[in-house]
Amino acid sequence: MAESFSYVFPAIRGVQAGREYYVSMCPMRLLPKLFIFDEEELVPELRAQRTLNKARVPEIARYIVDNRDSYTFSAITASIDGTVTFDPVGTDKSSTFRMGTLSVPMEAKFIVNDGQHRRAAIEAALSTAPELGDETIAVVFFLDRGLERCQQMFADLNRYAVKPSASLGILYDHRSAAANVAKHLSLTSDLFKNLIETERSSLSARSRKLFTLSALHYSIVELLPEKELEDFAAASRKCQEFWEVVGRQIPEWIYVRESKMTAGEVRRDFIHSHAIVLQALGRVGRSIFQLPNPDLAKRIKKLGSVDWSRKNAATWEGRAMVGGSMAKSGQNVTLTTNELKRVLGLKLTDDEAVAEQALLASRGVAPRRRTRGSK
């Protein structure tokens, strides 16, 4: 019988749970050939991984191509269904055990236990930037011991994975224009200075912080279009102007800065420091800036008449709150925006009008006439 051909990888050999495994570097151009994902049609019980979410792939691929000088990927973990041979190099016992070449028959199958979206994104990125094909990604190879073992590996690899909080992700993100503006405001704005929680995306009752960095970030995304955010200096000035004007109309924010109220008391009794309201205020701000004659100070002054109390269930239940608790859905952001637009005399978009009519119908209230924009 003719000798079969093999893939040969430079590798480091290790041991976990009494079993050998291998770490190697794989050229990116080989990933689509080695790791073929063909389990979409199988039921979950017969798969060793989750189905590929194709909607995630273009975003990851853009990340690679747009940041080809600074992208970062963790290792792909794969199981080899086949007989492998490890040939150590060197004469020293310690190096003999660790370093060598891993030979894998070409007829062997590779099962991706962790990293199938990275693999698919790399394949997509190579179609746009083929020069990335000679770059490498780390691959951890385990020996396949059947479907049950592969499924257990997937469960174990994901068992203790904890996604960092949105605030911490924004704090460490230096590529996002909105994140950079939010961090700048948190450090320089008289309104936000010392009142922004940068590590957590939820605040305890005893926290001295009034806002989270993630909430401020999302409000800025709503306030300014992406193109404007690319001009850091201009975007920072515009955001600071807007939020300083808003802050003057919300006395509780001022009381916290002056130590007349605690942040916990404000968050307990009022809705205006929660993420959903900051997002709604951001949307309102964008609508104002789009007016032919914005007159920001005059328009925002009307916010002084808003009753932000949680006890004001007649206004906020179904909008910013559900069952007395703060809501988080996009629909609730829209409905909160609608109420603020009503107070400020701003026109609703078609989607906002549809959401408003649905809310009023659920309350058994006759539909309102659409608010006209200011001339």
- CA 325 from chain centre, in angstroms, equals 24
Res 17: pLDDT: 87
CB count within 10 Å of CB 1 equals 3
pTM value is 0.79
Please compute the mean of the pLDDT values over residues 251-277 and round it to a whole number.
95
Pull the structure tokens for residue 251: 């006395």
Pull the structure tokens for residue 340: 């603020």
pLDDT band at 44 (very low <50, low <70, confident <90, very high): low
pLDDT band at 119 (very low <50, low <70, confident <90, very high): very high
Report whether pLDDT(49) > 80: no
> If you average pLDDT over every residue of the chain, what do you get?
88
Report whether pLDDT(211) > 50: yes
Please compute the mean of the pLDDT values over residues 54-83 and round it to a whole number.
91
Task: Give the sign of the dihedral formed by CA 54, CA 60, CA 61, CA 66.
Answer: positive
Res 1: pLDDT: 41
**Does residue 131 or residue 52 have the better pLDDT?**
131
Pull the structure tokens for residue 355: 């959401």
Res 108: pLDDT: 86
Res 147: pLDDT: 67
Q: What angle do CA 114, 118, 121 make, to 5 degrees?
A: 150
**Does residue 200 or residue 38 have the better pLDDT?**
200
Report whether pLDDT(37) > 80: no
Please compute the mean of the pLDDT values over residues 343-364 and round it to a whole number.
92
Res 94: pLDDT: 55
